[in-house]
Amino acid sequence: MRARGWSGWWLIALGGCWTPQGDMLPTAPLPATALPVSRELPRVLTRPAPPVLDGRGLPEREAAAAEERPASSYRLLSVRECQQRAAAAAALANSWDAANRTIAGDRLDARFRYLAALESRNQAVADALSLYYQLAAAEARRPLLRQSLAVVESLLAKAQIARAEKIPYPLEPEDLLLQRSQLRDQVEQLELGIRLLNIELKRRLDWPAEPLSEQFWPVDDFAVSEESLPPDQAAVLALADRPELRAWRLVRDHLTVQTAAQWRELGGMAAEPRPFGGLRRGREGGGSGWLALVLRHKRPQPDLANQVERWREQVRLLLEQRERAIADEARTAALLLPEQTRRVAAARQRLQLWDQRLEQALRRREAGQPNAEVYEAQIRWQRLLAEAELIEQVAAWHQARVRLRAALGWYAYDQLPPPSAAAAPSVSGFHR
């Protein structure tokens, strides 16, 4: 899903292909932005001692317990709402749609912008949903980490009392101190991760960044299914459905001497060069840079018919490259989804085994067996870790499903107006 082919080709040197007119040189040259350095670096003939990175400089004190820092308010966010808002917030796609509202729909450049907008929305939705499931996993793991910390702190307090009173205890305070420190660090990292995910997701959904204390709260059915798609069928569907490839084929099939002017216009290559609206860098950015690269305008202009043939050959080669890359992307995603389903099932089975162990530990404590309370606490902690692992595997399954649907290009069509929406196909249990 992290394919860079589409946005990467758009961004290739559009600035080098299009030069704004009317820029004036300053009357005096601008100063250098850095001073030259001519001195030699010290040289030694033997390997020096390793660098020392030991954290010195900080005061020696025990790390404070991580405090619960809930947000001041939450915005409930479902998968559907996240998908719709991410699609609507794709700025480049919006600029292309706006441009198309001013020209006839049967023009080739209008059809190209339409397909490019679909691809942009497909990627925007995939990126936002990936963040959404990461946030859901983090929020689900947070109470488990705090429960684990409470268990370790309880054991530590009992171990310290036992040592002070010279009473035998099966756990060493030093070991529990290490475990507590690690858990506190994990809690702090998780808290920070939740805040960072909210910042990024707000931007993807075009939601106000402030206040930072207001956060999204994922609310949805996070059930897992056994749906799958054979890799060969995934490749076929991606080649047919992916808007990027449809746009490339449009250029390949309709780039002629008669339509060259439209394609130049699309790439900012008209006789009167002008910027094409809304160019932004980044995952949701892009532009017609790849097309501008192919249709590079040179003066004096060569014979147009020969030039068009060269352009068509370049487009054909680039299309072959992208078809292979996108087909492989779909095959990979199709292979990963059932593997992730297996991992979820294995994690569920391990959690059930820990539940059985916990029941045995409770019976031992009720029977008054020696050290049964410590044994129960250790089993309860391990069970919390197994539950946290299951949460991570479930979130990874949903992300794998997002990756496959994005590789097929299906997120591009989910938000189409009803009259244009095609029937959703079902292939081997995998639903659009």
How confident is the model at residue 419, as a pLDDT?
Answer: 58
Q: What is the mean pLDDT of residues 171-192?
A: 94
Mean pLDDT over each residue of the chain, to the nearest integer: 83
Looking at per-residue confidence, does 22 or 360 come out higher? 360
Q: Which of 58-62, 102-106, 357-361 shows the lowest mean pLDDT across its residues?
A: 58-62
For 88, half-sphere exposure in the C-beta direction (CA atoms, 13 angstrom radius) is: 10
| Within-domain flag for 28 | no
Tell whether 381 is covered by a domain.
Answer: yes
Asked if pLDDT for residue 135 goes beyond 50, the answer is yes
Specify the higher pLDDT residue, 290 or 398: 398
pLDDT of residue 109: 84
Higher pLDDT, 26 or 333: 333
- In contact, 371 and 321? CB cutoff 8 Å: no
What is the arithmetic mean of pLDDT over 59-75? 76
Question: Would the pTM of this model clear 0.75, i.e. be above it?
Answer: yes
Average pLDDT over residues 345-353: 96
In a domain, residue 55? The reply is no
Name the band, by pLDDT with cuts 50, 70 and 90, for residue 376. very high
Q: What is the pLDDT of residues 146-168, one digit of tens each?
A: 999 999 999 999 999 999 999 99
- Judged against a pLDDT cut of 70, whether residue 212 lies above it is answered with yes
Q: Which of 274-278, 356-360, 393-397 has the lowest mean pLDDT?
A: 274-278
- For the segment 397-421, the average pLDDT, to the nearest whole number, is 88
Residue 287 has pLDDT above 50, yes or no: no
* Other CB atoms within 10 Å distance of the CB of residue 130: 20
For residue 304, the model assigns a pLDDT of 85
Q: What is the pLDDT of residue 296?
A: 52
Residue 343 has pLDDT above 90, yes or no: yes
Measured in whole angstroms, the distance separating CA 390 from the mean position of its chain's CA atoms is 20
- pLDDT bracket for residue 7 (50, 70, 90): low
Share of the chain above pLDDT 90, in %: 60
| pLDDT recorded at residue 431 | 53
Residue 19's pLDDT band (cuts 50, 70, 90): very low
Query: What are the tokens at 392?
Result: 């991570």
Mean pLDDT of 418-424: 49
pLDDT of residue 297: 47
The answer to whether residues 207 and 84 touch, using CB atoms and an 8 Å cutoff, is no
Here the tokens at position 267 are 């790439």
pLDDT tens for residues 296-322? 544 445 588 888 888 889 889 999 999
Average pLDDT value for residue range 380-404: 96
Residue 238 domain flag? yes
146 is in which domain, residue-wise?
70-273+281-416
Q: How far apart (Å, rounded) are the C-alpha atoms in residues 423 and 425?
A: 6
pLDDT of residue 66: 62
Tokens linked to 357:
């162990």
Query: Is 254 part of a structural domain of the chain?
Result: yes
What pLDDT does residue 311 have? 85
**Looking at the domain assignment, is residue 54 inside a domain?**
no
Residue 321, domain CATH: 1.20.1600.10
Whole-number percent of the chain with pLDDT over 70: 80
Please tell me the distance from the alpha carbon of residue 220 to that of residue 136, in angstroms, as a whole number.
9
Asked if residue 429 has pLDDT above 70, the reply is no
As for how many domains the chain has, the answer is: 1
Q: Which residues contact residue 160 at a Cβ distance below 8 angstroms, ignoring those fewer than 6 apart?
A: 173
Tell whether 85 is covered by a domain. Answer: yes
For the chain, what is the total number of helices (H) and then of strands (E)?
A: 13, 4
Instruction: Give the model's pLDDT for residue 62.
Output: 67
For residues 95-114, give the mean pLDDT: 86
> Which of the four pLDDT bands, split at 50, 70 and 90, describes residue 402?
very high
Round to whole Å and give the CA distance between 192 and 186: 10
Is 50 a member of any domain? no
400 vs 422, more confident? 400
Please name the residue ranges forming H helices in 32-165: 79-88, 91-100, 108-164
